[in-house]
Structures are given as structure tokens and as C-alpha cells.
Amino acid sequence: MKKRFFLSCLCLIFASAYAQPKKQSMTQTPKPPVAAIKPKTLEKHGDVRIDNYFWLNDRENPEVIDYLKQENEYYNKVTAHTKAFQEDLFKEMKSRIKEDDESVPYLYNGYYYITRFEKGQDYPIYARKKGSLSAPEEIMFDCNAMAKGHKFFQLSGISVSNDNRFAIFAVDVVGRRIYTLQIKNLQTGEILADKIDKATGNVAWANDNKTIFYTRQDEKTLRSDKVFKHKLGDDTAKDQLVYFEKDDTFNVSVAKGKSKKYIAISCSSTLTDEFRTILADEPNSEFKIFQPRVRGLEYSISHYGDSFYIVTNADGATNFKLMKTPETATTKENWKDLIAHREDVLLEGIDIFKDYLVVSERSNGLNKIKIMPWSGNGAYYLPFEIETYTAYTTTNVDFDTDVLRYGYQSMATPSSIIDFNMKTKVKEIKKEQQVLGGKFDKNNYIEERLWATATDGTKIPMSVVYRKGVKKDGKNPLLQYAYGSYGASMDPYFSSTRLSLLDRGFVYVIAHIRGGEELGRQWYENGKLLKKKNTFTDFIDCSKYLIAEKWTSPEHLYAEGGSAGGLLMGAVVNMAPELYNGVIAQVPFVDVMTTMLDDSIPLTTGEYDEWGNPNDKTYYDYMRSYSPYDNVTAKAYPNMYVSTGLHDSQVQYWEPAKWVAKLRVTKTDNKQLFLDTNMDAGHGGASGRFEALKELAKEFAFLLDLEKIKS
């Protein structure tokens, strides 16, 4: 019946087109929207920029919303022929996921805590069991029930009081990362009257079970700058401000340490840290500075026994070292080396146990986990055999245990949670990610580590995975991903959704370019500030290597990056558009100049040590030379799919909107250019686990449609 109805409608359409030939035919490609040009003159350091689309910086303007909706409509019309395929991809990816899944329980303060999903549900359920896994389940929060009536929902900041009676929780129903804090009585299920609006979701309980410390943001810039103290039952409007961070390049957070003895306020910028502490038993005392901030001095603290352990770059320790100081004398002159600085090893963090110190390191781009008995005898590394893996310590909240919990995965190996007995060296796999559907076999995939040579001679590592049978003949579709900022290392990881590309012949590559920290702190330093262009040229040089080695060709090479990785995409398509058939830019940071010159925009001032302060002409000129929006020129660009969220607090929606508007009227080709705006979400996209798959299906359909791959 559906087919007959479709044919009838088709006949009517044809008849109408025949009778009125001047109207658009059903096969004619829709015309893209063209944003109005409203020139605005922007001048700095004698340099004049004309921004024709500055007006899009107003989400309250109906004309702006109308333009975004027109772009969405255009995207939907042009890709209408892929909608069924998108649905198939969505179902395919969803079918691999164990819907009734749950986390590995962990024991904390007498309770086992579990996060689980139920079949058909989008959101997690947070539960606990007292004393034993066979005890009755207590549901703390059912996010599926809490999310009803909301297009976006995120629960964060769950923190349970020491007496196990109360739990703080934070809810965001917009996607702007501005939360409402509430408190639940876990024994009665009652939500207390205490309600704190416009918070960050960052909280810490004092040991009296009634005092809470929480952080708030500047309402305009969204910089986390204030720490408040609240007592249960008090009027939240009268909460005490205990700390305000005046320096607009710093953000604050608050936390109680693993030992439960101290609560610490952390003040951090890109290059500098400062901590303040109080005893968790004395919430009404004044916070004391641990070590005053010194520009360029980075440090983090962990408490154990009568000492603090400090991971720091003090004394020129570029790759960080571990130091120790008495809890009664915390300033830098008292710090003593425990693990010295090493030129070839990055110290990433520590986990402290009663009898062991566990050190997370990175050497030659690979994760290492070192077990060091406090006795000083018999230190050793966990063994890992391949070069495309990721290993990391996970939830280790108990001091008095010999068991370390860590995670492991590789490009072809699903993630596992492993309990490792540091005394007996026996490991137990507590959980391995299940890939449902009966079609996945990790032996069908090959993973490799490749090295490209950058223009300046630097060797750039890449992690590669593909299905067996792929030939290096230059005809393989290949998706190259990277991030390359903030010292964030993009480690090799497993993805069940990625199988939808691999099983259709795609090669997938993670390029570990400078700006990350994969090869140590210097790897990051050489991809920021006045060396930022190394990030872009590294990515391009990796692409050239993959083409030269016949992994792919420009007709089949695709690039992907999001947020600061979206900046990478914007720079790359300006610098070497001929290398790529298609590009996916997710929530891209592309209007670098305007954003970094506007200190009222969220995150701007805190980013000066990453990108530079354009109020300084040296940094202004350098940013000006690579800012994607400012360097769009009349030439051919790749096919492009650009996504954003109207409520994005990290990269404002108008950056990609302006970029696409400018590209539309400037580029010389007729290739696809889409702007897809989620009108109900923020930086992370859709909040539900399955809704997020629908967004991924759009991206995959974009790639596979360009490759004419449907099955």
C-alpha cells in the first residue's frame, strides 16, 4: 500500500511539473541559503578586518535562528536520499551495543556502586548495594525518569556524604554546562529543599555530613571563579563565598582527596597552579595556600599519611617529576624529589595505596603503568605487547588494598576493566566490552603504528586499523582523525561504531600530531602559541605520507576533528584543500581572531597561554595568519559537513555558522557544504546514548555517500 501511495504521489508531481514547467523540478538540487551581508569593521594594531557575518553572534535574534533553520533544512533536503541509509547505520551501530549493560561495581565506604543501562533506555541508572553485591539494589538516580520532558539532559557531580545518607547531584537541561545542584536523602528518597542554581556541578562534602563546598561560574564568561559553602537546611541565597579568583586566566575547582583528610581548592591556568587546603573535619576554618602561584609552576597534590605527594614541573622538570613534602610544611622549599625528572619519560599521574605507589607514565608515545612498593624493593611495569593500545588506571578509591583496577583497549581490541593484584601479579578481567551481532572477530582486523616525517624532519606517529584484505593500492577510503591541542593525548582506542566504516573498506588513522602530549611535554610545547602551525603541518604531512605510501589517495582521503580539532580542520582546508575529498568539522573553533579578542566570551582569557593573547601584536599577527575564518579564500574546498550546537558553551555556535556563510560565497567549487545545528544541545551534542548515535550516523552517511558505498 505504501508503494502504491508513493507512485500515486509521484504521478501527481510529474503531472504538476508538466503542466507548469516554470516551477522547480523534483530533481533540481535545492539552493543553499545565503546569509545576509552586514559588514562590521574590526580594527586592532592597525589591521582592519571586515566581518560580514558578525551579526550572527546573537542567538536571541530571530533572523539568526531563521538562518540556522534554513541551513538545517538545506542539509536535510540535499541529503534526503541518505535518510534511510542513516537509519540503517543507526540500527547497525545500535545493534552492536549491549543495551542492558552495567559498569564493574566498585566498593567505597561500605557500598558497591554501579552504573547501568536498561534495554531501550537512553540514560544511565545510578545504583548501589550495601556491603555485598548480593544485597538489595538501591536506585540513587534513574536518569531516564529525570530526563522526561527535556530535549537535553545531563546528570553530573554525584557526591555521597561520609555517612552515606545524602547525595548531591547536578542537572543541566540546556547543554550549556550550567547546573542546578540539589540534595537527595538516599534513605527516604526525598529531595531536600536546598536548591542551588547556576553552579558548575563541582562539589565536595566536608566530613560533618552537612557542609558542602561548590563552585560557580561568571554568568557571562562561564569561567569557574567562585567557591561557596552551604550547610544543609540553610537559605542558599545566604551561602558563604569562601574564595573568589580575580585573575581571569584562572579557573577554580574544589575536591576532597582520597585520604578524606583534606579539602582542596585548585586554581589553575594553562601554565600555572595554586592550591588551598583545609582539614575536612574543620569546614569552618580558613583555606591556607599550599604553595603560592608562580607563573610557569604547575603542580598537583595527593595526600597520604603525614605527607603530600606532588607531581610538578618544578626546577625545569619539563616532563614532570614526583616530589614529597610534610603536611606541616607545604611550600616549595620543603619539597624533596621522589622520582626525578626524565628527558624521555612523561610523568602523567599517580595512584597511592597503603603498600604501593602506582605511577602512570608515557614513553615513546605509549602508556606505561609502573608498580612501586613503598618498601623500595621490586618495582615493575605492567606488560603490554603491542604499540596501538591504551592503558590507564581507573576507579581506585580504596587505600588498603593490593588490587589495582586499570583499563585496557587497542584499535582492534574492545575495552576491558582489569583487577590486578600488585602482590601476586595475578590479573582478573572483570569485564570486556561486548560487541553484539555475532559478526565481530578482532582477528579480522589489523592494527599498526606508522611514522610520517614532518616538514622539519620530526617523526609523527600514527595509529592505524583496518580490516584484513585491504591492499595498499591508493584506492582505499581513509578517515584521518586528530586533535592536537591543550596537551591532550589522543590514544589508540576501540570503537564498535567505527566497525561500520572498517567493514565497508575504510582505513582509520589517528595522527598523534604536535599540540598533544603523546611524546612528552615538549610535544605539546611545540604545538602551541607561536608554534601552533606545527599542529596543522603535521596533520598535512601525515596525509601526504598516507597518500605516498598508497594507503589512500586525495579522491578517497577524509579528515575529521572537533572543537580545537575543528580549528585543525579549518586550517588544513585552507592550507591543503586538494588533499581531501571530504572533511568533518564538529563544533569547530574557527573564528580565532574575534573570539580571542573578546574577553566576554566563555573561555577566552583562560586560553591566552594556549593560543596567545592577541592584544599583543606578535600573537595577533601569528593568529591572523592561520585563523580559519579569516583565511578563507577563493579556491576549491573539499566536501564538508560542519556540526554545532546552539547552546554550546565551549565553541559558540556562531563560529561555524559564520565560517560556513563565508565559505558559501567565497569558494569556487560546487562540492557539498553543510551546516547542521542541533538546536537543543551544547558542545557534546545530543545527551542520550542512542541520540548521539544518530548524529554519528549522519557523519558516516556523509562519508559513505561520497564513496558511493551503501551496503
Which residues are the active-site residues?
563, 648, 683
Specify the amino acid at residue 12.
L
Strand order in the sheet with 427-432: 389-393, 403-410, 416-421, 427-432
Specify the amino acid at residue 208.
D
Contacts of 178 (CB under 8 A, 6+ apart): 172, 198, 199, 200, 217, 222, 649
Terminal Cα distance for the chain, rounded: 26
What's the longest Cα–Cα distance across the chain?
Answer: 91
Distance of alpha carbon 515 from alpha carbon 171, whole angstroms: 33
* Contact present, 575 and 497 (Cβ < 8 Å): no
**Residue 356's closest CA among 345, 344, 346, 370?**
370
Distance of CA 171 to the CA centre of its chain: 19
Beta-strand pair 211-217/224-231:
antiparallel
Query: E strand or H helix at 463, and its extent?
Result: strand 459-467
User: 111 forms bridges with which residues in the sheet?
Assistant: 108, 130
Exposure string (b/e) for 359-371, b if CB count within 10 Å is 16 or more? bbbbeebbbbbbb
User: How far from 225 is each of 228, 285, 305, 552, 659, CA to CA, in Å?
Assistant: 10, 20, 31, 48, 31
* Contact present, 368 and 361 (Cβ < 8 Å): yes
| Residue the block writes with cell 547546573 | 179
User: 41 forms bridges with which residues in the sheet?
Assistant: 50
Contacts of 194 (CB under 8 A, 6+ apart): 182, 183, 230, 232, 233, 234, 236
